[in-house]
Amino acid sequence: MGLLDKIFGGAADKVITSVGNVLDNLITNKEELAAAKLAVDKEINRHIESLKEITYRENELENADRDSARNREVAHIKATGKADHFQYFVGGVMMVTFVAVTVFLLKYELPEKNGHIIVNLVGILEGAVISVVTFYFGSSRNRNNESK
């Protein structure tokens, strides 16, 4: 009821009662009411199953994308006989940059004039570092999906 009270300004009980009264006036017997409740339950369950299916497909696409990047690395090693050092270089540069920026921010105060820009840039850098770590070490969600 807390959410409805916030939406309707404390009049949620009145709204629910009036909706219930309207349904009681439209539905005259217990069988019709039970059928209406069953239809609503079926629609809710159908919607939940649809959301689960969409989430499953999104996870599969994400895993396939990550897997194709890892397969690219394996194919490069097979073709050339050595690892692609550029991606290690990029990952290393990103990690060193993140550590350097973090140390800098801990050592010095942010200027008030451009502080919000620096915070946004650090957030972008953090997202990139998370992507690098997830690529090289995988994610717990990916491992959980693979074990099923």
Q: What would the DSSP string read from start to end of 35-54?
A: HHHHHHHHHHHHHHHHHHHH
Give per-residue pLDDT as tens, 40-97: 778 888 888 888 999 999 888 887 877 777 777 788 888 888 877 887 788 888 889 8
- Domain spans of the chain? 1-82, 84-148
With a threshold of 0.85, does the pTM exceed it? no
Give the pLDDT confidence score for residue 148 in this predicted structure.
Answer: 45
For residues 124 and 118, the model is more confident at 124
Q: How far is CA 86 from CA 9, 46, 77, in A?
A: 59, 48, 13
Contact 124, 131 (CB under 8 A): no
Dist. CA 62–CA 40, nearest whole Å: 33
Q: How far is CA 146 from CA 3, 85, 112, 130, 140, in A?
A: 38, 27, 47, 20, 10
Dist. CA 1–CA 14, nearest whole Å: 12
